[in-house]
Copies of this chain bind each other. A is one copy, B any other.
Amino acid sequence: MTIKTNPGNFFEDFQLGQEIVHAVPRTVTAGDVALYIGLTGSRFALHASDAFAQAIGYGKAPVDDILVFHIVFGRTVADISLNAIANLGYAQCKFGAPVYAGDTLSTRSTVIGLKENSNRETGIVYVRSVGRNQRDEVVLDYVRWVMVRKREQARPAPDALVPELAAAVAPADFYLPAGLQLEHYDRALAGSPHGWEDYQKGERIDHVDGMTLEESDHMTATRLYQNNAKVHFNQHAESKGRFGKRLIYGGHIISLARAASFNGLANALRVLAINGGRHVNPSFAGDTIYAWSEVVDVIELPGRADLGALRLRTIAAKDHPCADFPGPDAAGKYPAEVVLDLDYTILLPRRLA
């Protein structure tokens, strides 16, 4: 009689080069899209409106890239991070083929780095995860690293290998949806007159609006993604845990920051890349999430007079409006109110030549 439940993987269970087929392929539906709007308040017209999407060359509204991220990521949790102590970071996250309601997403990962910690009780696992649709097209390709418990402290660890990770996804790796035609792009319907040319390097935007977190909302979002990390759902266990309460899935904070960014970045057509991201403090039900962004780079796209990219740094803070642009101090230390520091790149329309 074998153990039927999944104990998750421990540090020793991972091997360099190991390939993992994650379970539960997931068909994304109009139901997921509605629930995502209901849980985040996202207002980007491209993802809310078939008619708007069709006017610029899509067959119908593509699914919000961040929702795609959550679904692809959700597949990996049972294998990668069930015994994780901390989700340390993301890098090299490239969004690929647009996802539409009806597409089925599945995820495979490769272990690309391993490093035992000096306490020998934990180690860091680096995985590259690739999400594909039912036609085997890549929809998302990213690296994350997590700190995972060892099963036995005494067990010898493999030689450390820390992968080299790019600081940012290169413009040559941006995936521009084929057939995108900006002639009939309507900024009034999108919600802002500001296109790519209107943003300047170093510009800071307070996204103004705050959203208060509820247990039901973050749990429903996280369950929707079939992310089964225990810390988000079980108050009985967490009441005796480190925080005494359920920890909110960091990805939900990304969703809220992205939804808030509509106010200032309404013409963002898609997330091209997540260059890096860190959940620098935990969030809990009752916290109100605010966000601001800095334009880190204004990127011209070779051969495209109609589109440009912005590299952004978006910081989310709890119970702290972002008019004063909170962030790390000179030593890189984050104040307690900052919960997210996200480096990502978006696509915007240009004024047509």
Contacts and interface: CB of A to CB of B under 8 A. Distances in A.
A221 B61 CA distance: 21
Contact of A210 (B6, B31, B210, B233): B233
A338 to B, nearest CB: 15
Interface of A: 1-2, 4-6, 21, 23-27, 29-35, 37-41, 43-45, 48-52, 61, 78, 101-102, 104, 106, 134, 188-192, 194, 198-200, 203, 205-212, 214-217, 219-224, 226, 228, 230, 233-237, 246, 263-266, 286, 288, 319, 321
A188 B21 contact: yes
29 contacts: A2-B198, A4-B192, A4-B198, A4-B264, A5-B264, A6-B191, A6-B263, A23-B192, A24-B44, A24-B49, A25-B48, A27-B49, A29-B101, A30-B101, A34-B224, A35-B38, A38-B221, A41-B226, A78-B191, A209-B230, A210-B230, A210-B234, A212-B233, A212-B236, A217-B219, A217-B220, A234-B288, A235-B288, A237-B321
A304 B101 CA distance: 36
Nearest to A227: B41
A299 to B, nearest CB: 18
Nearest to A223: B41
Given A29-B34, A40-B223, A224-B38, A234 B212 contact: yes
A341 to B, nearest CB: 20
4 pairs of A and B residues whose beta carbons are closest in the complex: A31-B34, A23-B191, A236-B288, A41-B223
A285 B282 CA distance: 24
A55 to B, nearest CB: 9
A210 to B, nearest CB: 4
A94 B123 CA distance: 49
- Copies of this chain held together in the complex: 3
Contact of A189 (B23, B38, B222, B264): B23
Contact of A31 (B23, B29, B51, B216): B29
Given A27-B49, A48-B226, A265 B40 contact: no
Given A1-B200, A43-B226, A194-B2, A235 B286 contact: yes
Given A205-B5, A221-B38, A189 B51 contact: no
A141 to B, nearest CB: 20
B24 A207 contact: no
A208 B51 contact: no
Given A35-B31, A219-B217, A5 B206 contact: yes
Contacts of A203: 1, 4
A288 B39 contact: no
Nearest to A198: B2
B205 A4 contact: yes
A134 B49 CA distance: 10
Contacts of A236: 210, 212, 288, 319, 321
